[in-house]
């Protein structure tokens, strides 16, 4: 039985590797024929072809809580989605999601899967080939399932961000990239500074040394991953935007996204005391990703803070703790220990963009 199963697994692995290579080969063939295909076409035909090409995008970690919501949102907007996964197990997860109805069955012909390691730039380039946009959702989990999010995982996330950005910049078809960062990359600032602004918005950056001192590895990973992404984007002329969401919530979020949920809440008491503990529903976050991406050739630029609720009262904190399955004092206990400086979170930049984009969406329907 063990031998037979191993042979089956090896057969499936070869099958999906062949599938991946076929996708890459087809994309290369199409590009090589591009000039011949365009001969004799009218401007309207070329515009239609460009529109079809513009609708192919890639989502990294497409089996994650956010990744799945983003894939579904993109499908609803008419995109074809190439889902990048790390291994065969993720492919099986996708199959289960399709069967369970978590992924839109009606759009199966617009979904493709590519297996590629985020540690290998060449493999990422092959996965992105033919895509006009890439959404790097930066969804990582603890392989051992016990530490939440370790210091070593932060370094892995930073390296993955570096590789994805370099692969995007080196892939000629990729025009735009959207990186999922975190609100934690904005809020952990040195409160001992007398001139520290009370407003926390898209221009705010967390302090790397403070994150190290407090051992806020999730915040550190998101902060450094975003910084390296911006560095490479500037050096390699990659068009990039980043979205910095609060704690991602939604149906069964603590069960479906446990690593990021627990890791995000390290330091929750201090965040709550300072008015900086915010959440965002995963569907709204997915919509924000698509809205920002679609506005990148017009008005979208830089960073966007994304949240739809600030946890400001004890009953709200207790409800959140109950949803996660942790004691309330993990969030709202001992809040008087912290300096009573209350900050103001602002997502005005994203709200303004979303209001314009949603009006356009309704106008198209």
CATH number of the domain that 159 lies in? Answer: 3.40.50.720
Active-site residue flag, 222: yes
What average pLDDT does range 117-138 have in this prediction?
A: 96
Examine residue 103 and state whether it is found in any structural domain, yes or no. yes
Examine residue 218 and state whether it is found in any structural domain, yes or no. yes
Q: Quick one: pLDDT at residue 336?
A: 56
pLDDT at 50 over 80: no
Residues 6+ apart with CB under 8 A from 135: 57, 58, 59, 60, 70, 177, 178, 180, 289, 293
Residues 6+ apart with CB under 8 A from 4: none
Q: CA 121 → CA 45, 67, 104, 206, distances in Å?
A: 34, 21, 30, 28
Q: Quick one: pLDDT at residue 34?
A: 37
Q: Quick one: pLDDT at residue 48?
A: 45
Q: Specify the higher pLDDT residue, 90 or 307.
A: 307
Q: Specify the higher pLDDT residue, 16 or 198.
A: 198
What average pLDDT does range 127-143 have in this prediction?
A: 85
Q: Quick one: pLDDT at residue 19?
A: 44
pLDDT at 211 over 80: yes
Average pLDDT value over all residues in the chain: 83
pLDDT at 16 over 50: no
Q: Specify the higher pLDDT residue, 146 or 89.
A: 89
Examine residue 97 and state whether it is found in any structural domain, yes or no. yes
pLDDT at 301 over 70: yes
Q: Quick one: pLDDT at residue 309?
A: 97
Examine residue 349 and state whether it is found in any structural domain, yes or no. yes
What average pLDDT does range 163-171 have in this prediction?
A: 98
Examine residue 46 and state whether it is found in any structural domain, yes or no. no
Contact criterion met (CB below 8 Å) for 333 and 304: no
pLDDT at 250 over 50: yes
Q: Quick one: pLDDT at residue 149?
A: 79
Examine residue 45 and state whether it is found in any structural domain, yes or no. no
Taking CB atoms within 8 Å and a gap of at least 24, the contacts of 93-97 are: 93/63, 94/62, 94/63, 97/63, 97/68
Q: Quick one: pLDDT at residue 91?
A: 86
pLDDT at 244 over 90: yes
Examine residue 38 and state whether it is found in any structural domain, yes or no. no
Residues 6+ apart with CB under 8 A from 106: none
Q: How many domains does the chain contain in total?
A: 1
Examine residue 42 and state whether it is found in any structural domain, yes or no. no
What average pLDDT does range 291-303 have in this prediction?
A: 95
pLDDT at 30 over 50: no
Q: Which domain holds residue 342?
A: 16-29+52-364
> Among the options 222, 266, 274, 349, which is catalytic?
222
The confidence band for 263, taking pLDDT boundaries of 50, 70 and 90, is: very high
pTM, two decimal places? 0.82
Q: Specify the higher pLDDT residue, 16 or 252.
A: 252
Residue 200, φ and ψ in degrees, nearest 5? -110, 115
pLDDT at 363 over 90: no
Q: Specify the higher pLDDT residue, 11 or 93.
A: 93
pLDDT at 35 over 50: no
């Amino acid at each position: 039985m063990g031998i037979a199963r191993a042979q089956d697994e090896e057969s499936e692995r070869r099958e999906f590797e062949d599938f991946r290579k076929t996708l890459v080969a087809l994309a290369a063939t199409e590009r090589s024929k591009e000039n011949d295909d365009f001969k004799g076409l009218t401007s309207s035909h070329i515009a239609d072809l460009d529109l079809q090409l513009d609708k192919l995008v890639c989502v990294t970690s497409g089996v994650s809580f956010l990744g799945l919501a983003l894939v579904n949102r993109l499908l609803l907007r008419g995109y074809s989605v190439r889902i990048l996964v790390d291994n065969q197990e993720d492919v099986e997860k996708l199959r289960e999601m399709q069967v369970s109805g978590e992924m839109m069955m009606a759009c199966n012909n617009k979904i493709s899967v590519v297996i590629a390691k985020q540690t290998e730039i060449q493999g990422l380039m092959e996965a992105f080939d033919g895509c006009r946009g890439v959404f790097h959702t930066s969804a990582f989990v603890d392989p051992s399932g016990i530490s939440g999010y370790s210091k070593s995982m932060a370094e892995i996330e930073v390296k993955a961000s570096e590789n994805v950005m370099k692969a995007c910049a080196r892939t000629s078809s990729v025009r735009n990239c959207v990186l999922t960062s975190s609100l934690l990359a904005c809020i952990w600032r040195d409160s001992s500074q007398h001139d520290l602004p009370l407003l926390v918005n898209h221009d705010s950056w967390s302090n790397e040394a403070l994150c190290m001192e407090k051992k806020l590895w999730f915040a550190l990973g998101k902060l450094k991953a975003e910084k390296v992404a911006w560095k490479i984007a500037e050096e390699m002329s990659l068009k990039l935007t980043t979205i910095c969401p609060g704690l991602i919530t939604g149906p069964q979020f603590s069960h479906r996204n446990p690593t990021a949920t627990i890791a995000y809440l390290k330091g929750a008491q201090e965040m709550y005391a300072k008015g900086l503990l915010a959440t965002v529903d995963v569907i709204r976050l997915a919509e924000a990703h698509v809205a920002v991406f679609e506005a990148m050739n017009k008005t979208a630029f830089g960073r966007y803070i994304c949240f739809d609720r600030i946890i400001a009262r004890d009953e709200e904190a207790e409800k959140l703790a109950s949803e996660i399955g942790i004691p309330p004092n993990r969030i709202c206990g001992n809040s008087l220990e912290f300096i009573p400086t209350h900050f103001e979170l602002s997502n005005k930049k994203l709200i303004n963009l979303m209001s314009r984009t949603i009006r356009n969406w309704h106008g198209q329907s």
